[in-house]
Amino acid sequence: MKSGFLSFLTKTGIAMAFCLSCISAKAQNNSDFWSRVRFGGAIGASFGNNYTDVTLAPGALYEVNEYYGVGLSLQGTYVQQKDFYESWMYGGSIINVFNPIPQIQISAELEQLRVNLDFDERYTDFYGNQDRDFWNTALFLGAGYRAQNVTFGIRYNVLFNDNDYVYSEAWMPFIRIYF
């Protein structure tokens, strides 16, 4: 599973480098391009009673104008509940944000994650095969309050499936930070 994750990161890095070089070549003709790009993302860690959840999700947002922006992000997550399961999730998303007024942000985000879920062998009877490797698609519609570079809000996963063990709820709070 770990070698698959490293292979994914390598392929993704090469693809992003290629895309950025194409954008950079195009941007040389338009010096305004990079002044409209904002970088940010999310980082998170949660630790509890035999539980670990670590996420890294860098992203970039291009502000088309003062009302609309479009962006890309990558995500890598590791979750483990000792003696129950271990999961690696990695992928990316495309986000659209609309600011009808500067303080309000409405968003739509399409996320595609590869999920590698390994249950402890003691749960095979209940969960079936110990290993589940699948793609999970999420479509989040959200709204939030925006103060300069930070947006606080809530989003709803329209494609939520409780049986995928990816997210525990369809509703999720979020904090977006772009500089």
Say which residue the tokens 């998303």 belong to. Answer: 93
| Residues in CB range of 54: below 8 A, 6 or more apart | 44, 45, 46, 77, 78, 79
pLDDT tens digits, one per residue of 88-128: 999 999 999 999 999 999 999 999 999 998 888 776 666 56
pTM for this prediction? 0.77
**C-alpha to C-alpha distances, 88 to 11, 100, 117, nearest whole angstrom:** 17, 37, 7
Say which residue the tokens 């009302």 belong to. Answer: 67
Checking if the pLDDT of 156 tops 60, the result is yes
Give me the percent of the chain exceeding a pLDDT of 70. 79
pLDDT tens digits, one per residue of 46-97: 999 999 999 999 999 999 999 999 999 999 999 999 888 899 999 999 999 9
**C-alpha to C-alpha distances, 145 to 41, 72, 140, 153, nearest whole angstrom:** 17, 21, 16, 6
CA nearest to 72, candidates 90, 88, 57: 57
What confidence category does residue 162 fall into, taking pLDDT thresholds of 50, 70 and 90? Answer: confident
Instruction: Quote the DSSP letter at residue 27.
Output: H
CA–CA dist 106, 100 (Å, integer): 8
CB 45 within 8 A of CB 77: no
